[in-house]
Structure 1
């Protein structure tokens, strides 16, 4: 039996999967690393923490593997998008990485619009200037840490730095590069125009490759440290959402994905690069060659539930927290939650908005608040689905992965709010499985990624919309959408009082 490894570099942990030729997950290793938040709006990590935990995880995988390591043929990567890793002339990190959920760059986003122009930026990158993207972070370092910027010789994204540490080879794949605001998405090349207008040195940008492309082998040192074969084939991999799409079979027209992790994503496959959503949703290169995907993002999806648990049920498991949610009627007895804990992205690109519970009264118990949090996250994702539908996309069936696929009550809630069939996969590994599939495809196990998906992915269950609940949620969704407009000014006034 042959095997491949999929590495998913998340915001809180790296997850490593060992997958055999049948698509079965033989081993799953997870190792955490800290999040560094110096002040409100800041979110950083030490890139070497990623490498250390990835190497330790790979070593643990090898130690538990009872076969011949030569039978592990390939490895590929999925990773958190947008994070800025600056390397000096020795290709060592100059400072901590600034992550996707860091919101310090509002002024830099305005400058991008002033210099490049909003319309021209959308023509080139297919995306608006948002605080989470890489280019605003690069400009922030240039303006606030000129010494660090002067030392910079290259920039990488998080999973690309880990792969570089393992191989000594510098690359970035198109699906991750599309989230930098420096890539000409349709031409699949770095934009000389954007670099020139914003005075960004082009040589900072690494060589571009396809996600399935083989980019090297392990260095002798890393082969020794991990116990893996020095002949292990290393493939580029992709952005976490692109790999999540691959790992969920979103590889043809009409396929849609709902992924609820720290952030939440609604993602739909696109065949070409000429769609125009006016920047209301993201438009990125897919991990599948010469394909694309549209994507709406809720910044604090699973994070909203994690926050609620940590603050109000720190000693309980998520299973205990969610117990009884299915006994609460839709609408949580008139309680609505908006998941704007760290601002929002789709459809409101607003770093200053903050979360709300609306409609609290003395009849509400904790289970009502928990259900309201789940509903609020799902309403936010529904806003992206509504944008897709309004653009003419037909969405009747949605594959759900991540934290939202671990609860029957939440899966039914998604079907009712999305007004669509919701599908749960039998082995839901999302981005990690997508990375493994890229390694399997790159290793020649299958002729196409679609063939790989057919062999690796099976449906476990489906959830159909409840007509009565659909009507209730349709009305509540109208109220939910009003909360942003009604609280925006209040949150702007409260912003100076935040630490």
Structure 2
């Protein structure tokens, strides 16, 4: 009888569930629930909330769907790994019931709370101990509830991150991880302990913090209620839990200093592992304990840089140019030389850009000649502009102590484009390895890491998922020239 691990990826738009073979790590199948996107509640502009029990409902449906589709029974599933949307806040009472909807990652109500704390505690202390500004993260959201909803706050038994809540629904066991606490800005890296000074500043009782368990290991066992609702067997262990970006890095076999995971979807993310506690870019780059963070040595920090205006730019062109597909756009772009004959596209049209110090500069098209340039130039300039923004982000990370040795990326929209991937690889002078994997598959495989065999884990990814590798071109000159032109245009806008 084949044995399997189950992986869950709790996003804000859907839940993905994956089954992999326990012994080989081979992916068997992935399902998504609900079929349409999950909704968000936005009582005011800038707010975003979801019902935690909606996540649980969709997870239970996804597990039933997987079991039926692949003819798997409960006893064949030998462990669960959980990936989840980062920075969310779930509050429960002493009976384990949510006291309000979850305030999720993209909710911006606590920005002022975090900025005020950054100023009052001191930028230096926040940067050296939290490695971040408290900003709009989970701790600041909890403080917002304390200040604005005291009747709810007074009933809080524990706060949780989204993945903690789902683990609790399976097991009736309340706990969290150091990696999770760090993403909520509850961890003091300098002293390797809970950030009690931030809790005290916010007036938050440390008793609200769940028990801390290891990222890999038995975090809880499915109880009778969890088994009845989910369809898993009683005593199935929960063996892994991490936020979606650290988990995405894990899915791409990114664990060691110098290894970088990149994501090129609607927004772009560059997530680099380092053993440096440098946080000089703490206002532009976030620093979290990676999944293999070692407490006693304070190493394996994940530096996360987000680029809001990435794939959304190319999608906008698809919807508004006279083109029928991304393939057509890529073909048009491939007929135009490097540098798009001088056309530059600044792709930041998806709100404020943290890496540009939260400026909202919008999308700009510059140097367009209406006699000589056409939609092919627009397509090339768009791909190059997004690639250049990734390179610009890598320069910020390099200035903050990152020494990249390899970049690994999922086989998603932007990295399917040779122009995009070749431009990035050539300018940063690093190979880009492309893998066909997902967060849910990574979380399922990570259930096997409680044994501590990271080498075999990486081999499973190489053997099963490697698609191709983009090598830097030897002739870098046209790429450097095009990038410098683009950067000059960007800095004229940023510094005006």
Cα displacement string for residues 24-71 of structure 1 (whole angstroms, at most 9, x for unaligned residues): 110111124123445543333222222221111111011112244322
Q: Which ranges in structure 2 are unaligned for 5 or more consecutive residues?
A: none
Match of residue 18 from structure 2: 17
Distance 1:134 1:404, change over 3 A: same
Match of residue 83 from structure 2: 78
- Select 2:408's aligned residue among 399, 413, 424: 399
Match of residue 493 from structure 1: none
Cα displacement string for residues 431-490 of structure 1 (whole angstroms, at most 9, x for unaligned residues): 323312320122x4xx4223222233343311122344x433433434444555544588
1:20-419 maps to which residues of 2 (within 5 A)? 20=21, 21-31=23-33, 32-131=37-136, 133-271=137-275, 274-279=277-282, 280-290=284-294, 291-301=299-309, 304-305=312-313, 308=316, 312=320, 322=330, 324-333=332-341, 334-346=343-355, 348-350=356-358, 352-359=359-366, 360=368, 362=370, 365-391=374-400, 393-401=402-410, 402-419=412-429
Distance 1:223 1:310, change over 3 A: farther
Match of residue 470 from structure 2: 463
Match of residue 497 from structure 1: none
**Is the contact between residue 135 and residue 181 of structure 1 (CA under 8 Å) also seen in structure 2?**
yes
TM-score (norm 2): 0.86
Alpha-carbon offset, residue 369 of structure 1: 4.0
Cα displacement string for residues 260-319 of structure 1 (whole angstroms, at most 9, x for unaligned residues): 344422222224x64454525322211115142342322425562476268538996655
Alpha-carbon offset, residue 370 of structure 1: 4.3
Match of residue 477 from structure 1: 483
- In 2, the alpha carbon distance for the partners of 1:118 and 1:440 equals 40
**Is the contact between residue 310 and residue 348 of structure 2 (CA under 8 Å) also seen in structure 1?**
no
Alpha-carbon offset, residue 223 of structure 1: 1.8
Alpha-carbon offset, residue 98 of structure 1: 2.3
The CA RMSD over aligned residues, in Å, is 2.9
Distance 1:314 1:143, change over 3 A: farther
Alpha-carbon offset, residue 194 of structure 1: 1.0
Q: How many residues align?
A: 480
Higher mean C-alpha displacement, 77-86 vs 106-115: 106-115
Cα displacement string for residues 337-374 of structure 1 (whole angstroms, at most 9, x for unaligned residues): 2325121223x341x51422231554655554444443
Distance 1:143 1:319, change over 3 A: farther
Higher mean C-alpha displacement, 152-161 vs 390-399: 390-399
- In 2, the alpha carbon distance for the partners of 1:322 and 1:247 equals 28
**3-state SS of 2:96 partner:** coil
**Is the contact between residue 323 and residue 329 of structure 2 (CA under 8 Å) also seen in structure 1?**
no
**3-state SS of 2:386 partner:** helix
Cα displacement string for residues 102-156 of structure 1 (whole angstroms, at most 9, x for unaligned residues): 333332122112321111111221112333x222222333333333333333221
- In 1, the alpha carbon distance for the partners of 2:82 and 2:285 equals 25
Alpha-carbon offset, residue 321 of structure 1: 5.9
Distance 1:86 1:428, change over 3 A: same
**Is the contact between residue 299 and residue 343 of structure 1 (CA under 8 Å) also seen in structure 2?**
no
Q: Which ranges in structure 1 are unaligned for 5 or more consecutive residues?
A: 491-499
Distance 1:130 1:376, change over 3 A: farther
**3-state SS of 2:271 partner:** strand
Alpha-carbon offset, residue 320 of structure 1: 6.0
**3-state SS of 1:82 partner:** coil
- In 2, the alpha carbon distance for the partners of 1:413 and 1:461 equals 16
- In 2, the alpha carbon distance for the partners of 1:52 and 1:321 equals 40
- In 2, the alpha carbon distance for the partners of 1:228 and 1:315 equals 47
- In 1, the alpha carbon distance for the partners of 2:5 and 2:324 equals 36
Alpha-carbon offset, residue 234 of structure 1: 0.9
Alpha-carbon offset, residue 403 of structure 1: 3.6
**Is the contact between residue 421 and residue 432 of structure 2 (CA under 8 Å) also seen in structure 1?**
yes
- In 1, the alpha carbon distance for the partners of 2:315 and 2:110 equals 24
